[in-house]
Amino acid sequence: MTQTKRQLFGTDGIRGVAGDFPLNRETVYAIGRALAHDLIHSRPVPRVLLGQDTRESSGWIADALAAGLRSCGAEVASAGVIPTPGVAFLARTRGFDAGVVLSASHNPWTDNGIKVFSGDGYKLPDAEELEIEREIFAQIAAGGTAANSATLAGVPSLPGDAALRQAYIGWLRAQATTDLSSLRILVDCANGAASAEAPELFRACGVDATILHASPDGRNINDGCGALHPKTLGAAMHEAEMRGEHYDLGVTFDGDADRALFCDAAGNVVNGDGVLLLCARDMQHRGRLSGNTVVGTTMANMGLEVALRGSGIALLRADVGDKYVLELMQKSGATLGGEQSGHILFRDSEATTGDGMFTALRVMDVVVRSGKSLAELIADLKVFPQVIKNVRVREKKPLSEIAAVRDAIDAADAQLRERGRVVVRYSGTEALARVMIEAESEAEMHTLADAIVEAIQRELGA
């Protein structure tokens, strides 16, 4: 039977528990062979760049992947520990046929993942990922996992090329065209891939940056810190203010630094919706917001839509996942898009994917040029109460085919009408169903969300 749906790739690569299928050594080796086989169609000896985050499993996964790539004739280089967007940048500018990142982003240290970029720096379209999946399963069926654990355990680690990392930091530094030396910021690196690069970048830009959570040990990535826990940074900002230590803003990255969230001077969290609002208005003012249009996702708060409309800016909604945001941006011609989670895409620049450090530079640039604080720039963003509840599921059966779940969703839609929104979807990276409801009334919001959650738990609960 022909495979028609992706089984390994989610919204952001292949993810799972490190050491378990498909992220055990033998299967990762087969993935490397499959990727090389796909690339050889375009070039006899493809060049592939690897990068990784700070998880203790990232090193051996990179080694097993490199062994698989080389076994099919590919040349492999490594940038070592580097943010995901750094690999996208280097793949595009250094003549690589593909860039691969070993990271599970915001997931716990026990997980890991494989993200693939094409030579132009963009994430692969779903159709190409499906073709690679077919080749992965073909490799497995044909014995492409033949390199056993003992053999792979002996593969020498690929040294990271410091010059590649410096090239990425140099490009970021060149994007800071405004003098940012007046700013004092607090930075949470999540003990992840930004731990080395962010301090170096902000220092090069003359920013007075105090760095938190930049001592990775392989297991503390995202542990109570970073963009997964933005209130940690907010509390630190508030405590500093109480001590009389003023910071203009705070920035917090996720594990692979492809997204960033912020805090204002008082420690209030500013998510991707707020970043889209302030950047959209600035780009509109400078004539760089194509079509006066911004692309968000189905998870963008209604308050963002209302605030943008007040400035004559339309909001288009894509499926969740920055690759889908990018697809709609390319289709609509929009130059700004992003997700509430902090993935922000700037199409008025050379960036091809979300980049937390680049986003931080853009936000600081707007703050300095406007002469306004972060809080002032988004003061009119009135956030509708929103709740997101995750339900662990045993399978991802189409929700429309489950009568009890469908009825609960329809009932919530009918009750809210124009006073709110209901979005229920499966996570692209975990065995979860996500229930999101926005409503003017918090009590009504929680009641409706609980009804949908209960229906999902009854029918699909793990």
Alpha-carbon distance of 178 to 172, in angstroms, equals 13
Tokens of 155: 């593969």
Among this protein's residues, is 105 annotated catalytic? yes
Angle at alpha carbon of residue 179, lines to 175 and 180, rounded to 5°: 90
The number of residues in the chain equals 462
Alpha-carbon distance of 263 to 246, in angstroms, equals 13
User: Catalytic residue among 57, 58, 103, 105, which?
Assistant: 105
Contact at 8 Å (CB) between 200 and 164?
Answer: no
CA dihedral 21, 26, 32, 38 (to 10 degrees): -80
Alpha-carbon distance of 153 to 61, in angstroms, equals 10
Tokens of 449: 């969300």
Which three-class secondary structure state does DSSP give residue 369?
Answer: helix
Which three-class secondary structure state does DSSP give residue 210?
Answer: strand
Which of 414, 413, 398, 415 shows the shortest CA–CA distance to 456? Answer: 398
Alpha-carbon distance of 34 to 326, in angstroms, equals 26
Catalytic residues: 105
